[in-house]
């Protein structure tokens, strides 16, 4: 797909006539409506934006002539993919072997990470990039700080600097960049962090299919979805850099989950031992309509049916023993082989394009700003997980949601995925770790363990032993942050 891209410095500038003849066949000449009122910089900007849009593709999307999918029918014939359970069953190797293989890959610097943080956190009602949201129940650390601490801890443990590629969008880029700069890269080395911007797609008027204008001299563009990650990594030189530095696998995660098992050696080990090109972490859905993508196998290929596409009747299907048929929920943690990603880039895998109905502010035909209060536009996005059917030997690995998934998506007060619930999940998990070491912890006490103190219960037990007191002699009766 050729989406409009954020910077276009080296593009040649098309004249008014060239633009007009480009737009006419697609009935999009309204984009030149204000041309004469623009100064030459504005004309250049508009010309470059128009030059980067694939109007033929857009026309197909608007007219709905691209392949539409009957997700209910797909779900009815879905089987469950091969899954490695969190206790290690479901594969031909042991958990210890997976851990060892994953640790080897980490130690030899083969692992890089990519964090997708281009979303605007509208549901959360937070007007800064979501990664800047303070989620630490005791520390008030931000989501970004959670990830940085985990990378620092992994770096110390395995003796390598694990690189972080952080994808932003136009809406989140500057604030994110400034936040990292102002806060000393959160303890990471500046050269370890690459912040790059994703591409865009034009938003169209839902009724007419006209591309909307944000102002008289700019198209209304919106992020092209996390499916744009691969193109953005390539465009920004990150793929070449990873290759040059000997990275072989890319750990993908999203900005909203403070419990993400970032660089978990067992997950990495499963991927490597299975010779998988793309591995996905899943949880057993807690209820049928939980808002997570459904990982399924259809015609021998693993794929994800997004929750918003799945009819409730399909989500509620059960097996003969009453268990949920589509049980595997996507928590948006994937591990990719770089070779696979490069192959996908070369093939330009033409991922499917998903539509979303949104409120998009724009200027009308008279040049007046319009702020709609109901959805007026269609936005187009691609999803990274649509790469799954293209990958060989894919496996899914099951994680316990209490250990690995506490997403921050909705504002407090909502029934699910709120900051309050995420903080509670963090405390619950760390309370369990402490208790497994023999420490007495009051239920009402908030506890939070920074991975730089301990990454898992085994490390915690060692650290607690260093205090001179055995864990069994320790009692925690006030809120405590282990860091
Ligand atoms: C997402 C997954 C869903 C999964 C759930 C787990 C999609 C489409 N669905 O749902 O299958 O079960 O998370 O929590 O992703 N982002 C960008 N650029 C974009 C769009 C999104 O970087 O153009 C990032 C966001 O910052 C966020 C992530 O992608 O980190 C997920 O986006 P969001 O739209 O919030 O997905 P969910 O509906 O939560």
Which of 254, 281, 425 for a ligand 1 pocket mutation test, highest count of atoms within 8 Å of Cβ?
Answer: 254
pLDDT tens string 330-342: 999 999 999 999 9
The residue whose C-alpha atom lies closest to atom 20 belonging to ligand 1 is: 225
Q: How many CB atoms lie within 10 A of CB 122?
A: 11
Q: Is residue 345 within 8 Å of 230, Cβ to Cβ? A: yes
Burial of 393 (0-12, 13-18, 19+ CB in 10 A): middle
DSSP 81: P
Q: Which two tokens stand for residue 467?
A: 């205090």
Residue 401, phi then psi, degrees to nearest 5: -55, -30
Confidence of residue 12 (pLDDT cuts 50, 70, 90): low
CA distances from 69 to 64, 309, 311, 313, 372 (A): 11, 9, 12, 17, 30
Atom nearest to 257 CA in ligand 1 = 14
Alpha helices (H) in 52-122, listed in sequence order: 55-63, 71-76, 95-107
Say if ligand 1 is within 6 A of residue 256 CB.
yes
Say if ligand 1 is within 6 A of residue 292 CB.
yes
The residue whose C-alpha atom lies closest to atom 14 belonging to ligand 1 is: 331
Atom nearest to 405 CA in ligand 1 = 14
pLDDT tens string 233-291: 999 999 999 999 999 999 999 999 999 999 999 999 999 999 999 999 999 999 999 99
Say if ligand 1 is within 6 A of residue 217 CB.
no
DSSP 392: S
Atom nearest to 354 CA in ligand 1 = 8
Least confident stretch, 119-123, 157-161, 317-321, 476-480: 119-123
Atom nearest to 331 CA in ligand 1 = 6
Q: Please tell me the predicted confidence (pLDDT) of residue 362.
A: 97
DSSP 212: P
How far apart, in whole angstroms, are the C-alpha atoms of residue 358 and residue 351? 21
Cα 321 to ligand 1 centre (Å): 32
The whole-number average pLDDT for the span 295-305 is 93
Which of 71, 121, 256, 379 for a ligand 1 pocket mutation test, highest count of atoms within 8 Å of Cβ?
Answer: 256
Q: Please tell me the predicted confidence (pLDDT) of residue 6.
A: 44
Q: Which two tokens stand for residue 374?
A: 């109901």
Cα 185 to ligand 1 centre (Å): 24
DSSP 287: S
Q: Please tell me the predicted confidence (pLDDT) of residue 8.
A: 43
The residue whose C-alpha atom lies closest to atom 7 belonging to ligand 1 is: 383
Average pLDDT of the chain is 93
Cα 256 to ligand 1 centre (Å): 9
DSSP 366: T
The residue whose C-alpha atom lies closest to atom 18 belonging to ligand 1 is: 118
Say if ligand 1 is within 6 A of residue 446 CB.
no
Q: Please tell me the predicted confidence (pLDDT) of residue 469.
A: 80
Q: Please tell me the predicted confidence (pLDDT) of residue 447.
A: 98
pLDDT higher at 60 or 12: 60
Q: Which residues contact 458 (CB under 8 A, 6 or more apart)?
A: none
Residue 307's nearest CA partner among 377, 383, 379, 375 is: 383
Q: Which residue has the tokens 């040649």?
A: 12
How far apart, in whole angstroms, are the C-alpha atoms of residue 468 and residue 94? 35
Confidence of residue 394 (pLDDT cuts 50, 70, 90): very high
Confidence of residue 201 (pLDDT cuts 50, 70, 90): very high
Say if ligand 1 is within 6 A of residue 252 CB.
no
Q: Looking at beta carbons, which pairs linking 155-158 to residues 24 or more positions away fall under 8 Å? A: 156/452, 157/106, 157/455, 158/103, 158/106, 158/107
Q: Quickly name the fold that domain 67-412 has.
A: Spore Coat Polysaccharide Biosynthesis Protein SpsA; Chain A (3.90.550)
Q: How many CB atoms lie within 10 A of CB 100?
A: 15
pLDDT higher at 85 or 8: 85
> How, if at all, do strands 278-284 and 395-398 pair?
parallel
Atom nearest to 116 CA in ligand 1 = 22
Atom nearest to 255 CA in ligand 1 = 30
pLDDT higher at 4 or 407: 407
Cα 443 to ligand 1 centre (Å): 33
Cα 344 to ligand 1 centre (Å): 21
Would you kindly state where each structural domain of the chain is located, as residue ranges? Answer: 67-412, 418-483
Say if ligand 1 is within 6 A of residue 306 CB.
yes
Q: What is the pTM of this model?
A: 0.94
Residue 414, phi then psi, degrees to nearest 5: -70, 165
Please report which helix (H) or strand (E) contains residue 395, including its range: strand 395-398
């Amino acid at each position: 797909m050729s989406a409009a891209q954020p910077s276009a410095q080296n593009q040649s500038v098309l004249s008014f006539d060239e633009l007009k003849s480009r737009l006419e066949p697609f009935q999009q000449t309204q984009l030149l409506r204000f041309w004469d009122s623009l100064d030459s910089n504005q004309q250049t900007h508009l010309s470059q934006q128009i030059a980067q849009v694939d109007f033929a593709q857009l026309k197909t999307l608007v007219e709905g002539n691209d392949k539409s999918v009957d997700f209910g029918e797909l779900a009815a014939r879905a089987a469950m993919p091969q899954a490695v359970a969190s206790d290690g069953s479901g594969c031909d190797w042991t958990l210890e072997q997976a851990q060892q293989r994953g640790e080897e890959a980490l130690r030899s610097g083969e692992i890089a990470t990519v964090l997708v943080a281009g979303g605007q956190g509208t549901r959360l009602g937070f007007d800064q990039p979501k990664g800047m949201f303070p989620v630490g129940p005791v520390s008030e650390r931000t989501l970004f700080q959670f990830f940085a601490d985990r990378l620092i801890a992994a770096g110390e443990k395995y003796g390598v600097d694990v690189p972080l590629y952080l994808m932003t969008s136009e809406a989140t880029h500057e604030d994110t960049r400034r936040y990292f700069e102002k806060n000393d890269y959160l303890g990471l080395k500046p050269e370890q962090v690459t912040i790059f911007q994703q591409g865009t797609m034009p938003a169209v008027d839902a009724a007419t299919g006209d591309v909307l204008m944000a102002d008289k001299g700019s198209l209304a563009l919106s992020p092209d979805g996390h499916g744009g990650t691969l193109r953005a990594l390539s465009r920004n030189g990150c793929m070449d850099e990873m290759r040059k530095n000997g990275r072989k696998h890319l750990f993908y995660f999203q900005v909203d989950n403070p419990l993400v098992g970032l660089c978990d050696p067992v997950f990495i080990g499963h991927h490597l031992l299975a010779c998988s090109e793309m591995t996905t972490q899943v949880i057993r859905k807690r209820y049928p309509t939980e808002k997570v993508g459904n990982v399924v196998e259809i015609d021998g290929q693993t794929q994800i049916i997004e929750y918003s596409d799945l009819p409730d009747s399909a989500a509620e299907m059960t097996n003969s023993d009453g268990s949920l048929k589509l049980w595997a929920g996507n928590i948006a943690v994937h591990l990719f082989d770089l070779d696979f990603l490069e192959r996908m880039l070369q093939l330009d895998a033409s991922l499917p394009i998903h539509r979303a109905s949104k409120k998009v502010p724009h200027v009308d035909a008279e040049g007046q700003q319009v702020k709609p209060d109901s959805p007026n536009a269609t936005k187009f996005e691609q999803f990274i997980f649509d790469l799954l059917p293209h990958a060989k030997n894919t496996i899914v690995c099951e994680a316990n949601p209490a250990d690995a998934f506490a997403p921050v998506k909705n504002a407090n007060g909502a029934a699910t995925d709120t900051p309050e619930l995420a903080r509670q999940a963090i405390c619950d998990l760390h309370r369990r770790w402490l208790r497994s070491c023999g420490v007495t912890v009051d239920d009402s006490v908030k506890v939070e363990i920074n991975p730089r103190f301990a990454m898992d219960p085994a490390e915690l037990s060692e650290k607690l032993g260093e205090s001179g007191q055995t864990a069994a002699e320790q009692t925690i009766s006030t809120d405590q942050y282990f860091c």
